[in-house]
Amino acid sequence: MAINSPEGTRDLLPDEAKFWAHFRDTAFDIFARYGYQPIETPLFEQTDLFVRGIGQATDVVSKEMFTAISGENFKRVIEGDTIKAKSRLSLRPEGTAGVVRAVAQHDLVPQGAAPAKLMYAGPMFRAERPQKGRQRMFNQVGIECLGAEDPSVDAEGIIMLMRFYAAIGVPMDATRLLVNSMGCEKCRPAYREAVRAYMNEHADAMCDECMRRAEINPLRAFDCKNPGCAEVMDGAPKISDYLCDDCREHYEAVKAYLKGAGVVFVEDPKLVRGLDYYTRTVFEVQVDQGMGSQNAIGGGGRYDKLCEEVGGRPTPGFGFALGYERCALAIQAAGYTFPSAQHCDVFVACVDDSMRAEAFRLVQACRDAGVSAEMDHQHRSLKSQFKLADKVGARLVAVLGPDELAAGQVKVRNMQTHKERLAELDKVKELLSRFGGEPFGGAHVAVDEVFGTEE
């Protein structure tokens, strides 16, 4: 029986893999204008980092982590021994905890330093029930800004994200930005208590899991998909009535910056996000076109206590992540198709096999000079080589034939105009060797310059 990819994973085939690279590069280009620099952290971390950082009561930690133990520890577990906490490892379900751990570990924001602005892209892993737009391995692009609590950081981050969506082709008229403030450690405890009390009053109508989790974090009930819970939570106390003066001022400033930049948003006092580290600003971007029930294409917020939580010095933070796959669905629903990943400047065809060695040298010289080139590797007829050239999207076909070679020439056909001309082989080779000194990222010569254009 054939073995397929694991449930909840997807292969990105060449056209989409190229689009994903373009998606990531476009995001990084835009984010770099705002001062963000790339960071790469491990795909797995100590499980404790996620438990402490993201929160034990969250679905992500309590149900969705892929947890592993390395070889020698696996043997210990089988034999009934316990293993050290640091030997318990989990695949990262998100990027924030790892980046904040790296900031703390390498002291990237020493006292009084400018904020560290970091961006990342790569796979995340959550053992969720797969459905459209929800996978077990998915790609995120994200940013984290550590070291500043000013509302301007939150606002510029949200603006930057909206600019990126527009640039990459997410249909902005079908997109909704929701914002809220979750308060801080001064005002949230009272709010949490109010929600807990409210839930206790309505315990009969709520699911067991919400009631159980209410002990650790009652705010998780806002995320429950159970219709009975959702109805009860509609009438729950609103955080906006509990914010302290500082949080209210911070929230008002974020909104004023957004309005000033012409960014349209909707306030949603029930938006709590699925991760426990947030303080103050939270936001989410949803798209209604082409999505299933998973319509959040990105989200984030402020987490001023997370760095301390994972053992670093007190360092305020703000960040977001966006899901590549959901964005791709939204972009495709708006009519976009991935362009072909195939790129070929020139296909070198041979009239017969005696020309193959010459064709092989010419193709290599083209590639060394920065021209993408291809030839047939299956001893096809000339007609079928032309078909192949068409299939790989070659702009030009250079035909090596005995008559042309005897005259020191190569016949060049423009595949768009179908016009043909003869180019001097010595001149072609001389031009290619002139540019061919630096095969790895050196000079790139235009294919037309080498093979000439038909006038």
- Residues annotated as binding site? 94-96, 126, 140, 144, 273, 277-278
What is the closest distance, in whole angstroms, from the C-beta atom of residue 376 to ligand HAM in the complex?
41
Q: Is 326 helix (H, G, I), strand (E, B) or coil?
A: helix
Q: Which residue has the tokens 């007609």?
A: 383
What is the closest distance, in whole angstroms, from the C-beta atom of residue 415 to ligand HAM in the complex?
40
Using the Cα atoms of residue 213, residue 214, residue 218 and residue 221 in order, give the sign of their dihedral. positive
Q: Which residues are annotated as a binding site for L-histidine?
A: 94-96, 126, 140, 144, 273, 277-278
Q: What values do phi and psi take at 270, rounded to 5?
A: -95, 0
Q: Which residues bind ligand HAM (CB under 6 A)?
A: 94-96, 126, 128, 133-135, 138, 140, 142, 144, 274-275, 296-301, 319-323, 325-326
- CB nearer to ligand HAM: give 319 or 401: 319
Amino acid residing at 307: C
**Residue 432, C-beta contacts closer than 8 angstroms, at least 6 positions apart:** 362, 365, 366, 368, 369, 371, 445, 450
- CB nearer to ligand HAM: give 285 or 428: 285
Q: How distant is the alpha carbon of residue 45 from its chain centre?
A: 19
What is the closest distance, in whole angstroms, from the C-beta atom of residue 447 to ligand HAM in the complex?
40
- CB nearer to ligand HAM: give 322 or 363: 322
- CB nearer to ligand HAM: give 115 or 323: 323
- CB nearer to ligand HAM: give 170 or 369: 170
Question: Exposed/middle/buried for 445, CB within 10 Å: 0-12, 13-18, 19+?
Answer: middle
- CB nearer to ligand HAM: give 126 or 213: 126
Please give the full DSSP string across 405-447, using - where no structure is assigned: HHTTEEEEEETTT--EEEEEHHHHHHHHHHHTT-TTTS----H
What is the closest distance, in whole angstroms, from the C-beta atom of residue 286 to ligand HAM in the complex?
9
What's the CA gap between 19 and 24, in Å, rounded?
A: 9
What's the CA gap between 118 and 315, in Å, rounded?
A: 14
What is the closest distance, in whole angstroms, from the C-beta atom of residue 67 to ligand HAM in the complex?
17
Please give the full DSSP string across 4-46, using - where no structure is assigned: PPPTT-----HHHHHHHHHHHHHHHHHHHHTT-EE----SEEE
What is the closest distance, in whole angstroms, from the C-beta atom of residue 305 to ligand HAM in the complex?
13
What is the closest distance, in whole angstroms, from the C-beta atom of residue 322 to ligand HAM in the complex?
6
Q: Is 404 helix (H, G, I), strand (E, B) or coil?
A: helix
- CB nearer to ligand HAM: give 242 or 318: 318
Q: Token digits for 395?
A: 């702009």
Q: Which residue has the tokens 């595949």?
A: 415
The residue sitting closest to ligand HAM, measured at its beta carbon, is 323
- CB nearer to ligand HAM: give 182 or 297: 297
Q: Is 138 helix (H, G, I), strand (E, B) or coil?
A: strand
Contact 341, 393 (CB under 8 A): no
What is the closest distance, in whole angstroms, from the C-beta atom of residue 2 to ligand HAM in the complex?
25
